[in-house]
């Protein structure tokens, strides 16, 4: 299959390596002609140290190459996705399968990434989502990984499954696009907060409490937005949260770790040295929750840490001193 990948960061590069290994013709797009020339010459992308691009991956700064693509994969940062899609739209022919590998919710509109792509590229192209616990550093090194391909059209989901799947990259199909995308966006917020928990040295009990209650928040948000609560217990939900909260590769966790240790937010974001999606997602997730009338105490606390200079230790106290409540919505009088 002829595949064009928009976004030459770590994730777009890792997926390009994967797809080339599966026998597809792959062109990887970067907005920077100098970067395209350098990566073509060295077969190295600074975003993935120690990893070499196979010769089958063509690196280009020319979007016109997408005109013959059968599948267009978008792996741009969430805050740049609309701009990239708008530029790409004239080069994508009707019927091309669009796959979003970007996790986030657009600021201002609260649209999911698949909605942004569908709006910019048009209704003539089916849109699917690829998500799950999948750090680029490990995928690029062919380490065992599992993801989900989500689309309301089963045939499209299965096509994406077949394109990406191999012996080290398992792909499961999922119909719940809403739940998959909301989990993918919100888990970045949760992971940033989990880094704060580690930065404050609160211990494993606190981390388990934090992650479990954060998952409960995501389940309520997904259901209220039209998704399925069960998605939160799958790879796109629990799986992605685990890896993003605990992995040394997680930029969101690293940023939170620095904040928990006392670094100002702006400094922590700079120190990470790459896009920290949880920073942008915190504002979008809270905005969406307000629109839907959903209470998200953990995500809102992370938002206040990032945007309202809330003290990390006071934030912990705020969460721990909330009113008593039942863990689940039990019917105590049910016999």
Residue 103: what are its φ and ψ, rounded to 5°?
-110, 120
Whether residue 242 contacts residue 232, with contact meaning beta carbons closer than 8 Å, is answered with no
Catalytic residue status for 334: no
Report the distance separating Cα 129 and Cα 173, nearest Å.
Answer: 10
CA–CA separation, 70 and 61 (whole Å): 19
Bridge partners for 173 per DSSP: 149
Question: Which among 152, 146, 282, 260 is positioned nearest to 196, based on CA atoms?
Answer: 260
Catalytic-labelled residue, pool 103, 187, 207, 334: 187
Q: Residues near 204 by Cβ (< 8 Å), separated by ≥ 6?
A: none
Whose CA is closest to 73, among 111, 55, 107, 100? 100
Kind plus residue range of the DSSP H or E element containing 169: strand 169-174
Active-site residues, by number, are 187
């Amino acid at each position: 299959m002829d595949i064009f990948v928009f976004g030459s960061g770590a994730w777009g590069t890792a997926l390009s390596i994967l797809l080339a290994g599966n026998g597809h013709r792959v062109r990887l797009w970067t907005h920077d002609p100098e970067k395209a020339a350098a990566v073509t010459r060295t077969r190295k992308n600074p975003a993935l140290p120690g990893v070499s691009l196979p010769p089958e991956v063509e690196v280009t700064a020319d979007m016109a190459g997408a005109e013959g693509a059968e599948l267009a994969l978008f792996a741009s940062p969430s805050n740049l996705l609309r701009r990239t899609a708008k530029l790409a739209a004239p080069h994508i022919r009707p019927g091309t399968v669009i796959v979003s590998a970007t996790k986030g919710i657009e600021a201002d509109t609260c649209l999911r990434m698949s909605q942004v792509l569908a709006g910019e590229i048009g209704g003539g192209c089916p849109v699917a989502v690829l998500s799950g616990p999948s750090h680029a550093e490990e995928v690029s090194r062919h380490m065992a990984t599992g993801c989900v391909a989500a689309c309301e059209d089963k045939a499209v989901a299965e096509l994406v499954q077949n394109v990406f799947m191999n012996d080290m990259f398992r792909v499961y199909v999922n119909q719940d696009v809403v739940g998959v995308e909301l989990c993918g966006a919100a888990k970045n917020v949760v992971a940033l907060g989990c880094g704060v928990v580690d930065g404050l040295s609160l211990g494993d009990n606190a981390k388990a409490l934090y992650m479990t209650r954060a998952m409960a928040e995501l389940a309520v948000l997904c259901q209220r937005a039209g998704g399925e609560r069960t998605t939160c217990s799958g790879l796109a939900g629990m799986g992605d949260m685990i890896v993003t909260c605990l992995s040394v590769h997680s930029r969101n966790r690293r940023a939170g770790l620095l904040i928990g240790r006392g670094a100002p937010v702006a400094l922590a974001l700079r120190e990470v040295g790459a896009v920290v999606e949880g920073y942008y997602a915190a504002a979008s997730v809270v905005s969406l929750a307000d629109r839907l009338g959903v209470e998200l105490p953990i995500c809102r606390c992370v938002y206040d840490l990032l945007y309202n200079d809330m003290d990390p230790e006071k934030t912990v106290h705020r969460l721990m001193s909330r009113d008593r409540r039942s863990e689940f919505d039990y019917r105590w009088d049910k016999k």
